[in-house]
């Protein structure tokens, strides 16, 4: 299964400049999901991180992973309508190599567990065959304010 950006936006509330997933390249319920982020010099964060030496902030790599995890839960049919993803934990985060303009970031998440509405993913981010970041991500879904 593949999804483009427009299709991804039907599952996530994120929009420019905070939608950090361009494509879903693979999905296997109960197992994994793979997303892609094309990193361009036009990203708004490069203006300040860092002038003359642009590097994608590690926290945004983690956010991109989390967004891919949010798409996973929707595709798996496990999210009630009107609920949005919330981070509840990040463990074992490691940043191995810088992510630069022009890189294609491949975000691979394996479902480690789903207990009491908490998703735990083992996430890895690659540029080509090089591991650039990894983390254990935990998320849940909740109604937006004013909705139950």
pLDDT in tens, 96-143: 999 999 999 999 999 999 999 999 999 999 999 999 999 999 999 998
Q: According to the model, what pLDDT value does residue 6 have?
A: 97
Q: According to the model, what pLDDT value does residue 145 have?
A: 67
Neighbouring residues of 76: CB distance < 8 A, sequence distance ≥ 6: 29, 30
Indicate which residues carry an active-site annotation. 49
| pLDDT(71) > 80 | yes
pLDDT band at 146 (very low <50, low <70, confident <90, very high): low
Q: Please, which residues bridge with residue 109 across strands?
A: 33, 123
The answer to whether the beta carbons of residues 133 and 61 sit under 8 Å apart is: yes
CA atoms within 13 A on the CB side of 56: 30
pTM: 0.94
Walk me through the domains of the chain, giving residue ranges and CATH numbers. Answer: 5-143 (3.10.129.10)
């Amino acid at each position: 299964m593949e999804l483009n950006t427009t299709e991804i936006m039907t599952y996530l509330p994120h929009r420019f400049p905070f939608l950090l997933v361009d494509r879903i390249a693979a999905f296997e319920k109960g197992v994994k999901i793979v997303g892609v982020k094309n990193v361009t010099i036009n990203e708004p964060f490069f203006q300040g991180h860092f002038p003359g030496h642009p590097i994608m902030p590690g926290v945004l790599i983690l956010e991109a992973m989390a967004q891919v995890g949010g798409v996973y839960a929707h595709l798996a049919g496990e999210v009630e309508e009107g609920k949005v993803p919330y981070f509840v934990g990040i463990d074992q985060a490691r940043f191995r190599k810088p992510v630069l303009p022009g890189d294609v970031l491949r975000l691979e998440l394996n479902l480690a567990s789903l207990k009491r509405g908490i998703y735990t993913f083992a996430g890895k981010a690659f540029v080509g065959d090089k591991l650039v970041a990894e983390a254990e991500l935990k998320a849940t879904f909740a109604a937006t304010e004013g909705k139950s």
